[in-house]
Structure 1
Amino acid sequence: MTGDDELLQIEQVIERLTTRYPAASPGDIEHTVRTVHKRLAECRIRDFVPLLVEKTARRELSDRAAVQAKGDLVL
Structure 2
Amino acid sequence: MTADEQPQMTGDRFPPGRETRHREAHSTTPKDPLRAQQDELTAVHDVATRLRSAYPSVDPAAVDALVKTAYEQLHQARIRTYIPILVERRARNMLNASSRDSAP
TM-score (norm 2): 0.65
Aligned partner (choices 49, 54, 58) of residue 15 of structure 1: 49
Alignment deviations for residues 12-51 of structure 1 (CA, whole Å, 9 cap, x no partner): 0000000001110000000000011011000010000000
SS of residue in 2 equivalent to 1:41: coil
Shift of 1:66: 1.1
* Partners of 1:12 and 1:60 in 2: CA distance: 17
Moved >2 Å (runs of 4+): none
Question: 1:51 maps to what in 2?
Answer: 85
Question: 1:3 maps to what in 2?
Answer: 37
Aligned partner (choices 19, 25, 44) of residue 59 of structure 2: 25
**CA-based RMSD:** 0.9
**Structure 2 unaligned spans of 5+:** 1-29, 31-35
**Amino-acid identity (%):** 33
- Asked which structure has the greater RCO (Cα within 8 Å, sep 6+), the reply is 1
* Partners of 1:23 and 1:14 in 2: CA distance: 14
